[in-house]
Structure 1
Amino acid sequence: MEDLRPGDHACLTYSDAEERLDIVAAFVRDGIGAGQKVVCFTDQSGPPDLAGELAERDVKPTDGGQLTIRDNDAAWLSGGQVSAANMIEMLSVELEAAHRDGYAGLRVTADMCWATRPVAAVDELLVFETRVADLFAEGRLIAVCQYDRQRFDHVTLAFAAKAHARAVAAAVYHEDPLLRICRQHAPPGIRLAGEIDYRRVPELNHALAEALRLGGDIHVNLAHLTFMDAAAAAAIGQAALSLQPGRAMAIVCGRAVRKVLDLVGATDQPAVRVRLAHGRP
């Protein structure tokens, strides 16, 4: 995500909704920090829902309209019809408005699931992804198109990957049917989902070591972790011990995981802050 530059047209394919939101939040946060106009087109959640998800990931609302969240129904599917030409024209207008208002550029992210609806022809999606390339020529536009692997067929996903010059994905340190360990982009840190025991402590240590190198506070998201043994909890506690003064570790977890962290003394450290995940056992 940090390597994206104005003029880049990137594709994000995902199967984990939380991972998608982390990446979108990082994309939005970086655009705001760079003084760019940011526009998010959302399909799977309405604008208020997406605004709330961004706020949970430390992306705050901006003054003056720097960040705009639009519903795909109102943007792409106005009147029940969608066309590549209208979509490209809308982005052209946004690009000129951003320039006129003095922004450093325009940053756009769009949930492309509108193309899976009966009222939207998927061939218009293919035309859009092909013709929109001209808008990136001047280096004022940067865009990430989001594709849900569970909603699109393999042929369309393959085309989307080919139509974009760049690809965006979370760093995955381990993935199997029982456990997924990946980088969390916003707030920065790592996320674990599933079950972890002593056998996956090396992968956990690797993920924690990379998070430590990033600087700042570390966020350890264990909200979707259903089991953790003492060895894995101790690894998290050891990482917290290695934090330099002024840095903190924020942990989100369920009550069962919190008990294990308490047992090994990880939560007793001054640098550790723990918050129980809403609705988790």
Structure 2
Amino acid sequence: MTVLRKLDAPTGLRPGDHVCWTFADAADFSAAVLPFLDEGRRLGEQLLVIGASRPEVLRTLAPLPGRDQLLASGQLQVHSTVEVYAPDGELSPTEQVQAYRGLVQRALQDGRTGLRVAADVTPLVRRGCGLQRQVHVYEQLADAMMGTVAMTALCLYDAALGTDLLGPVTLLHPDQHHGEEAPLAHLSGRGPSLSLHGEVDATLADSLFRALVDVACGTPGEVVLDLSDLRFLDVAGARALARAAGVLRGADVHLRLVRAPRVAARCLGLFGLGGGETVPA
């Protein structure tokens, strides 16, 4: 079961944690990345930092204890976002996840306790709808991977991107830090089996629609969405699920909703959606 968490600090994290962290400016970025990496240094993890440009990231990391020694030993590596994720202008979500699996294995072979990644994904989201969709699929695949490897991920996004762009990517992380806002929901799972956790109201409906369509669209046949961990769903949220079902139907994907809480099932019924066998709210 997914535990939806609001993080107030980028520390106290362990392998399997997948964090969406928004930052307001360079100082805010530094305040998140430095303690996150220092914790990994003390835990003996391999450290990887990915940012807009390598020189800019290196300047940000200047206060990190032992930075130069970490770089010299190879325990700390720094790359640009485009270099890692989209060297040819496109992001391949499946290949990227496999690449991280390989990096985790290499880190363990080198005697590290795991892999700790701080990645500013902002440059990809800013490059248009095509890459945004690829980022959504990647974040979903990465989230499904996180519980199976010794990896801790801090996915960083500039808060200036706004709700339209941040909403879907935030929804695809179980651990969230977005200013003072409390996390509402998380869309988890992989391939034909997805789960929706938390609360979906009018503020999150459009984000749910975009995230769900993007992660389910490449799955042929049937996609099952388990709603048993949904604490609240209003009419706007149900309408978003109905819209998603319609768009996916046009892409030859059948979205089947199962185990809807009774209160959610009533809203779904307004749009001709079934929720399978209902469970208590």
TM-score band, normalised by shorter chain: 0.5 to 0.7
Structure number, greater radius of gyration: 1
Does residue 1:54 correspond to 2:64, yes or no? no
Q: 2: CA distance between counterparts of 1:23 and 1:9?
A: 14
Structure 1's 156 and 27: CA in aligned 2 closer, same or farther, altered over 3 A? same
Q: CA deviation at 1:80?
A: 2.1
Q: CA deviation at 1:145?
A: 0.4
Specify every segment of 5 or more residues in structure 2 that has no aligned partner in the other structure, as ranges.
Answer: 1-9, 181-281
**Residue number in structure 1 paired with 2:41:** 32
Does residue 1:3 correspond to 2:12, yes or no? yes
**Residue number in structure 2 paired with 1:87:** 96
Secondary structure in structure 1 of the residue aligned to 2:44: coil
Q: 1: CA distance between counterparts of 2:166 and 2:41?
A: 29
**Residue number in structure 1 paired with 2:146:** 136
Task: Calculate the TM-score normalised by the size of structure 2.
Answer: 0.55
2:125 and 2:165 in contact (8 A); partners too? no
Q: 2: CA distance between counterparts of 1:120 and 1:18?
A: 30
Structure 1's 27 and 72: CA in aligned 2 closer, same or farther, altered over 3 A? same
Secondary structure in structure 1 of the residue aligned to 2:153: strand
Secondary structure in structure 2 of the residue aligned to 1:2: coil
Q: CA deviation at 1:98?
A: 0.8
Task: Calculate the TM-score normalised by the size of structure 1.
Answer: 0.55
Secondary structure in structure 2 of the residue aligned to 1:142: strand
**Residue number in structure 2 paired with 1:268:** none
1:124-170 Cα deviation digits (max 9, x unpaired): 011011111232123511001011121x2413312222211112468
Identity %: 24
**Residue number in structure 2 paired with 1:103:** 112
1:99-137 Cα deviation digits (max 9, x unpaired): 111110000111111221249521001101111123212
Does residue 1:121 correspond to 2:128, yes or no? no
Q: 2: CA distance between counterparts of 1:118 and 1:160?
A: 14
Name the aligned partner's letter for residue 25 of structure 1. Answer: L
Structure 1's 77 and 155: CA in aligned 2 closer, same or farther, altered over 3 A? same
How many residue pairs are counted as aligned between the two chains? 169
Structure 1's 18 and 59: CA in aligned 2 closer, same or farther, altered over 3 A? farther
**Residue number in structure 2 paired with 1:167:** 176
Match of 2:167 among 158, 164, 170: 158
1:111 and 1:146 in contact (8 A); partners too? yes
Does residue 1:149 correspond to 2:159, yes or no? yes
Specify every segment of 5 or more residues in structure 1 that has no aligned partner in the other structure, as ranges.
Answer: 172-281
Name the aligned partner's letter for residue 141 of structure 1. Answer: M
2:38 and 2:64 in contact (8 A); partners too? no
Structure 1's 131 and 143: CA in aligned 2 closer, same or farther, altered over 3 A? same
Name the aligned partner's letter for residue 116 of structure 1. Answer: R
**Which moved further from structure 2: 116-125 or 33-42?**
116-125
RMSD: 2.3
**Residue number in structure 1 paired with 2:77:** 68
Q: 2: CA distance between counterparts of 1:47 and 1:138?
A: 29
